[in-house]
């Protein structure tokens, strides 16, 4: 077998950062599935709940759908059905602002606040099952955070 020229060698699937990120993301979501099934949430719903739980402790000035979309890097077309489902599950309340009915504020219901208490033991079990050291996860999160910041700044 002959050696590929450098411009073609760089096109090997296993050399693609985008593929490693994509495959890793899918594997992480798959690993979360048993925990999310116990919580009755999809992965995107879980991410939204994480932000709403953060806001419970330190609310933003405007806890709106727009602010949630900015935090999750999602548009309102993606968020609206997700939030409707969370509302149907009794976890979230959506209320239109009195001063501008286009602005929708988000609030956790009592059930949504209680759901947070169920997450730590499930997440702890998930981390134990993964076999990955906490320090490795911290390093990886920091590297990915830096990559995300740079890519967002460049776009």
10 domain-assigned = no
Q: Which CATH number is 142's domain given?
A: 1.10.10.10
Measure the CA dihedral 42/48/52/53, to 10°.
50
Structural domain range at position 101 = 19-154
Residue pair 103/66 in contact by the 8 Å Cβ criterion: yes
CA proximity to 103, closest of 61, 50, 150: 61
81 domain-assigned = yes
User: What's the whole-number mean pLDDT along residues 52-60?
Assistant: 92
How many domains does the structure of the chain reveal?
1
13 domain-assigned = no
Q: Is the pLDDT of residue 20 over 80?
A: yes
What is the reported pLDDT for 42?
Answer: 96
| Model confidence pLDDT, tens digit, residues 62-118 | 899 999 999 999 998 999 999 999 999 999 999 987 788 788 899 999 999 999 999
66 domain-assigned = yes
The SS3 call for residue 36 is helix
| Model confidence pLDDT, tens digit, residues 88-99 | 999 999 998 778
44 domain-assigned = yes
39 domain-assigned = yes
């Amino acid at each position: 077998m002959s050696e590929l020229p450098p411009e073609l060698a760089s096109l090997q699937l296993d050399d693609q950062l985008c593929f490693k990120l994509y495959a890793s993301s899918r594997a992480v979501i798959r690993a979360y599935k048993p925990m999310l099934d116990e919580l009755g949430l999809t992965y995107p719903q879980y991410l939204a709940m994480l932000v709403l739980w953060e806001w419970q402790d330190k609310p933003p000035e405007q806890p709106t759908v727009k602010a949630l979309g900015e935090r999750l890097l999602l548009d309102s077309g993606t968020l609206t059905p997700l939030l409707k489902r969370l509302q149907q599950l009794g976890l979230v309340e959506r209320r239109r602002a009195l001063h501008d009915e286009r602005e929708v504020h988000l609030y956790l219901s009592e059930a949504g606040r209680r759901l947070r208490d169920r997450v730590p033991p499930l997440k702890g079990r998930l981390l134990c099952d993964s076999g990955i050291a906490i320090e490795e996860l911290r390093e990886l999160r920091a590297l990915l955070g830096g990559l995300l910041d740079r890519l967002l700044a460049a776009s």
